[in-house]
Amino acid sequence: MTEHPRARLDDVIHAPVRFSIVAALAAVEEADFKAVRDTVEITDSALSKQVATLEKAGHVDVRKTWAGRRPRTVLRLTSGGRSAFERHVAALRDIAEGAVPSAGEG
């Protein structure tokens, strides 16, 4: 018996807001905190909390810089985070395809 694809889902990425954040970051090399906030349509505090969880899991790298006199936070997926996202999406696709053995199989 093969393992159900849900076993390959990443528990950290699976939460809808974190999935949205990681998906947004997967589309770019890096992104400004404010751009991600606006894309995902959440508050600064909600994004900070979710990014901290993703950073702790090793999925997201957070870099603080300055733009003139203003602080700037830049987010990017780590290579491990990008791989985890790709595995997670592949597992979701497998689940969505619903491959179930026919009555004559198995």
**pLDDT band for position 1 (50/70/90)?**
low
- The model carries a pTM of 0.88
CB 94 within 8 A of CB 5: yes
pLDDT tens digits, one per residue of 37-62: 999 999 999 999 999 999 999 999 99
What distances in angstroms separate CA 79 from CA 36, 66, 82, one per listed residue? 19, 25, 5
**pLDDT band for position 2 (50/70/90)?**
confident
At residue 103, does pLDDT exceed 60? Answer: no
Pairing of strands 31-32, 70-77: antiparallel
pLDDT tens digits, one per residue of 59-90: 999 999 988 899 999 999 999 999 999 999 99
pLDDT tens digits, one per residue of 6-34: 999 999 999 999 999 999 999 999 999 99
What are the backbone angles phi and psi of residue 62, rounded to the nearest 5°? -115, 125
Residue 82 identity: R
**Helix pair angle (44-56, 33-40), 10° resolution:** 110
The C-alpha angle 91, 36, 31, rounded to 5 degrees, equals 95
